[in-house]
Structure 1
């Protein structure tokens, strides 16, 4: 993989703050003191539609744009040619036929059930790359796609085309024992690819399962100044706290240059627009001005089928989709006066969780978007890469992210995740069925915090859960 540059951290002041907190038993990071988690655009919606509302401070004119974007996000795309020519061109290979098919109710996806096809979880593919001969490929794509099968396993196809293969998922259960003897059953996912239709799979194939993440607050996260992310990064752990958050450096297709990444499970996308059009190409087989080709390789001969135009996703439609994805509001905090929630908030900081799940940020100025500008937000993420240990590793590099590293996922709204989608799982592949399970899977830089959680008395663990469910 590419060599990560050494970054100078501007966050050394946090070390003294953390040391003071340990000595005084005070939280090292700010405690949220407002229910307005997403700033002035926060909404009070706590049912199955909690993730589907526009920014509360969005103007009426822009709400019309939001509605148009919502229609393209929600409605299925179809094979070409079709009378619905604004939404045709699906495939020939794909994983789902709509954005909403993965991001269920704009929320998290889930692993497939027994003998059920996977809809909101897919497998990224790669093979080992040579840093010298594959240097340009790594600079622009971050990894080396698999021969014939490309960068993503497509498990569906239009009529007349065969899917690439079937994804099989089984579970291997095991027990984690807490300090007070409580036993928690975890289950490890085991993936297999069966019935490949385009020749044998590479023996050195690398797979990375990815479940669809929630869509809320993306525009606010994009508005966090890059300087703030750089200031938090400490890739060489110069302060010795065991946390070494790193910036991913990724390729911006529109600007034709390497920039800071902040979206996706490995922070491999620089902005919402590129992330969205990448999903159109990889998940639905739809071309755009940023992706003139889908993940279909020459050996699969997708060109023999009709397309939905060149490109299939017009810049106008892409603009509506990007606006929609950048405008979904964050639901307000709940139960903040509850003593257990307040205790859990302090424990979240004292056990080191807030070192990666940074509670507070302030957005910068966003041209034409006063609803996103100058907002104090509480996403609980530093948007940086962290080593999460071997148990969660996928062994697949992506730009500067190695096989053990994942971007800190924002926690805002997480207490409503299973209200929005009752089958939603946590972590990058949805393996954790509860927030407690998610914590117990943490390793690497988070191992110390995990062990503190396991050692806590049941009342403190319950308080921490109450806090997380209030977010």
Structure 2
């Protein structure tokens, strides 16, 4: 619509660094017309749309029925790049150990950490689960305090600072001789929701307690946010969506009056002064797979890399014993625990995990569920499809029709899901729309997998019923709809 195009131009003008960063070759008018036609919302629901069964485009992989369904390399890679993928996989699964160690290629863990490997949180490349026992990896606790410097070039940035003792993230494990930062206590209270057919769905409202703080009390104004490890599905394809196509769905002032006010999460890039669109993380805090990977290595495992070169990870100056602990930096790797070449292999792995093919997209319940999904207005945030940019170096991710079901924008999700912790441009009530592809395989890969940012939802229906804020009308429609339509909606989601 004309107003939305004007808004995109205004957003690009407001963030010149983001608009001027390296991007795709502009599409010709003919290409733009083709893209607009193929990404238009479905108008009929008696059969699948062309190519709908291949949500990852040419790189879509066969749907497996085992726990490795989300761990396959994207289709069509050359033999050399698939070998790189397997080396990256080994790095993803590596169990790091404390330094000094005889296994010098694997030392550098911590000194404070949440997990010993990427795999421990992202079980088989899927989503994590709330801890069944203290210390179980998969759920992290972010922390910050109000204040801090503004971010030049980023409008509406909400300034926060790390806790002066505990940093940006609480680590619940530590190397020998150091105290862990805390122990998480988690309690759930039941919250019944009556559905139209007389049945009652029971939601779980979590309460978190920071027990046994290892370095004294948290700051009096500390703000906490639990974060579940998300699935790794299709990250390289999300990175390949043209920025303008994402901004085209932004409507921060709800100019069209539909109640949906998506906002972009602009964040600093790797280069000083660079501003990029945030695409990854629950609040869009990272703009690229590379930055997201390096940040997780540092904060979650305590591994240094070219982007986060300190060996002590998230330890603050007040934690002198942590900073004085030995690191695993290798002089042959520039003093880093993971050098640039190894980081590139790990990023290659993360970018190229294949999106599984849809299951039964032509089934009658799935098609009816898709119609319900559209008619309920879910596609206002969960935008079904895009065409990726032209990427000569990544041909299977170049100019592909993909179906992630996300606008990658920030939305107010209501008080029930609020963490009351701002993160960049995101307020304490806002979350980035998570992609839905692969979500139907989440509990096949990890039977204990939870949904939403903290895993509180045990099923897709529970996840829908937690929606509020901008999505309150859609949630209420799901509660009120006939049970067969609700069942069809869930069948559609399980097919993704």
TM-score, length of structure 2 as denominator length: 0.87
Q: Does the 8 Å CA contact 2:134/2:185 hold for their aligned counterparts?
A: no
Q: Does the 8 Å CA contact 2:146/2:159 hold for their aligned counterparts?
A: no
Question: Which residue in 2 is equivalent to 1:70?
Answer: 89
1:374 aligns with 2:399: yes
* In 2: Cα distance, 1:256 partner to 1:85 partner: 36
1:393 aligns with 2:423: no
1:121 aligns with 2:146: no
Change over 3 Å in CA distance of 1:103–1:142 after alignment to 2? farther
Q: CA RMSD in A?
A: 2.3
Correspondence for 2:62 among 44, 47, 55: 44
Structural mapping, 1:143-182, within 5 Å: 143-182=160-199
Structural mapping, 1:445-456, within 5 Å: 445-456=470-481
Structural mapping, 1:326-345, within 5 Å: 326-345=351-370
Deviations 1:400-441 (A, max 9, x none): 111111010000011110000000000000000000000000
Correspondence for 2:377 among 346, 352, 356: 352
* In 1: Cα distance, 2:192 partner to 2:337 partner: 48
1:206 aligns with 2:223: yes
Question: Which residue in 1 is equivalent to 2:7?
Answer: 8
Structural mapping, 1:213-228, within 5 Å: 213-228=230-245
Q: Report the secondary structure of 1:173's partner residue.
A: strand
* In 2: Cα distance, 1:217 partner to 1:381 partner: 12
Q: Does the 8 Å CA contact 1:32/1:359 hold for their aligned counterparts?
A: no
Displacement, 1:172?
A: 1.1
Q: Report the secondary structure of 1:333's partner residue.
A: coil
Change over 3 Å in CA distance of 1:258–1:91 after alignment to 2? same
Deviations 1:145-187 (A, max 9, x none): 1110000000000111110111111111110111222101111
* In 1: Cα distance, 2:466 partner to 2:305 partner: 38
Question: Which residue in 1 is equivalent to 2:328?
Answer: 308
* In 2: Cα distance, 1:295 partner to 1:443 partner: 33
Change over 3 Å in CA distance of 1:204–1:445 after alignment to 2? same
* In 1: Cα distance, 2:380 partner to 2:96 partner: 42
Correspondence for 1:54 among 66, 73, 94: 73
Q: Does the 8 Å CA contact 1:31/1:346 hold for their aligned counterparts?
A: no
Gaps of 5+ in 2: 11-36, 330-334
Change over 3 Å in CA distance of 1:347–1:68 after alignment to 2? same
Displacement, 1:287?
A: 1.5
* In 2: Cα distance, 1:143 partner to 1:344 partner: 42
Structural mapping, 1:220-299, within 5 Å: 220-254=237-271, 256-293=273-310, 294-299=313-318
Displacement, 1:366?
A: 2.1
Deviations 1:85-138 (A, max 9, x none): 22211100000010001100000000011x4323100100011126xxx32599
Question: Which residue in 1 is equivalent to 2:349?
Answer: 324
Q: Report the secondary structure of 1:184's partner residue.
A: strand
Displacement, 1:83?
A: 2.6
* In 2: Cα distance, 1:363 partner to 1:410 partner: 15
* In 2: Cα distance, 1:361 partner to 1:321 partner: 26
Deviations 1:197-229 (A, max 9, x none): 111111211100000000010000000001111
Change over 3 Å in CA distance of 1:142–1:38 after alignment to 2? farther
Q: Does the 8 Å CA contact 2:54/2:358 hold for their aligned counterparts?
A: yes
* In 1: Cα distance, 2:44 partner to 2:52 partner: 19
Structural mapping, 1:75-114, within 5 Å: 75-113=94-132
Question: Which residue in 2 is equivalent to 1:404?
Answer: 429
* In 2: Cα distance, 1:277 partner to 1:376 partner: 29
Name the count of aligned residue pairs. Answer: 451
* In 2: Cα distance, 1:7 partner to 1:307 partner: 51
* In 2: Cα distance, 1:26 partner to 1:240 partner: 25
Q: Does the 8 Å CA contact 1:138/1:399 hold for their aligned counterparts?
A: no
Q: Report the secondary structure of 1:64's partner residue.
A: helix
Please identify, of 298-307 and 420-429, the stretch whose mean Cα deviation from structure 2 is larger: 298-307
* In 1: Cα distance, 2:164 partner to 2:174 partner: 19
